[in-house]
Amino acid sequence: MRYRRPGLDIASHAVLILALLAFCLPVWLAFTAATHDQASLYTSTAPLWFGDQGLGNFRSVLSEPVARLGTDVTRLLLNSTVMALGIACGKIIIAILAAYAIVFFRFPLRRLCFWLIFITLMLPVEVRIMPTYKIAADLNLLNSYAGLILPLIASATATFLFRQFYLTVPPELLEAARVDGAGPWRFLKDILLPLSKTNIAALFVIMFLYGWNQYLWPLLITTESDYMTIVVSLKRLLSSADNLVPWQAVMATALLAMLPPVAVIVLMQRYFVKGLVDAEK
């Protein structure tokens, strides 16, 4: 719909700009605050312009152990990346295989399997977190990447989405592949996966963000700073009463924590557009 009315134009632009400000201002404030030193942050209100530190605060949180954390932000970024990648890739691989089995194979209790997976859609991590913690502890998974990743690696949502996609693949394609001598693995590798490229890219973004933003689970399962994730560290940085909060370090860390998700979205977004342009099927 397009209405040619100047008044409406102005009003809608005003709303858009306000929303944009509301969204950008905190990011802007974080960015300017990260370029000040601690003293100046405590002597004035939130600064709207850059300070004299340049990128020095970023450099120091990345290279030196940060007070209260006991490790540098590089390590935290690495931990978070490993966790997010592990969760995203694991979820996608497992979902693809589970959906493949459910849609293309006839085996006993197939329906039951599907419904069991489907029901777990209703159980977010938080609901089962205590028993999961107990199991992880018993398996010696505390303070390890495996402990961070494994309990979150299966995804009913992704399985369900892949199932829905597979159901739209014409059955003749499978039959043609069978006649052409492609076994189940070949059919998956040569036909199904290339056809689900865009789905995989979309799910990867969603699942990477999901993994990156995990808070409660990494908080429970990691006690050593070597395995702490960056999202958990932010809370840690703010939360002690003994001295002043190092706002410049907090802001620099927060901005660094934003970068990988943004990068993933930007990179994958280009891929989406490409996928949409030569959408096949």
Partner 1 sequence: MATLSLDALRKTYPNGFTALHGIDLAIDDGELIVVVGPSGCGKSTLLRMLAGLESISDGELAIDGRRVNDLEPAERDIAMVFQNYALYPHMSVADNMGYALKNRGVPKAERRRKVEETARLIGLEDLLDRRPRQLSGGQRQRVAMGRAIVREPKVFLFDEPLSNLDAKLRVQMRIEIRRLQKRLGVTAVYVTHDQVEAMTLADRLVVMNGGHIEQVGTPMHLYERPASRFVAGFIGSPAMNFLDARRADGDLALPCGTRIATSHEVHNDAVCLGIRPEHLSRVSEADDTTLTTRVELVEPLGADTLAHVRLDGQEEPLVARLDGVQPVAEGDTLYLRPDASRLHLFDLDTGRRLDDKDIHSCPSSPSSRLA
Least gap, CB of 177 to partner 1 (angstroms): 8
Residue from 137, 146, 176, 238 touching partner 1 (CB under 8 A): that is 176
Least CB distance to partner 1 at residue 201 (A) = 15
Report the C-alpha gap between 85 and 204 in whole angstroms. Answer: 9
Sign of CA dihedral 135, 140, 141, 143: positive
* Closer to partner 1 by Cβ: residue 54 or 194: 194
Helix 230-238 to helix 73-104 angle, to the nearest 10 degrees? 140
Encoding tokens for residue 253?
A: 């860390």
Binding mask 177-216 for partner 1 (x = CB under 8 A): xxxxxx---x---xx--xx---------------------
Phi, psi of 30 (to 5 degrees): -60, -40
Q: Residue 67: what are its φ and ψ, rounded to 5°? A: -55, 145
Give the count of alpha carbons within 13 A of 239, CB side only: 6
Residue with the two structure tokens 């691989």: 93
Q: Between 270 and 281, name the residue whose CB sits nearer to partner 1.
A: 281
In the complex with partner 1, which residue's Cβ is closer, 190 or 226?
Answer: 190
**Binds partner 1 (CB under 8 A): choice among 170, 242, 244, 266:** 170
Residue with tokens 């990477």: 208
- Considering only the stretches 88-96, 173-181, 223-231, 265-273, report the one whose residues sit in contact with partner 1 under the rule CB under 8 A: 173-181
Q: Could you identify the residue written with the tokens 């370029």?
A: 35
| Residue 117 CA, distance from chain mean position | 22
Percent composition of the chain: helix, strand, coil (DSSP 3-state, to 5): 75, 0, 25
Q: In angstroms, rounded to a whole number, what is the distance separating the alpha carbons of residues 212 and 207?
A: 8
Residues 115-154, mask of contacts with partner 1 (x by CB under 8 A): ----------------------------------------
CB distance 247 to 61 below 8 Å: no
The smaller minimum CB distance to partner 1, of residues 182 and 234, is found at: 182
Choose between 116 and 176: whose C-beta lies nearer to partner 1: 176
Q: According to the binding rule CB under 8 A, does residue 54 interact with partner 1?
A: no
- Of the two residues 195 and 202, which places its CB atom closer to partner 1 in the complex? 195
Among residues 244, 58, 218, the alpha carbon closest in space to that of 152 is found at 218
Q: Applying CB under 8 A, which of residues 172, 241, 242, 276 lies at the interface with partner 1?
A: 172
Which one, 242 or 280, has the nearer CB to partner 1? 280
Stretch in the footprint of partner 1 (CB under 8 A) among 11-19, 150-158, 174-182, 227-235: 174-182
- Interface residues toward partner 1, by CB under 8 A: 170, 172-173, 175-182, 186, 190-191, 194-195, 280-281
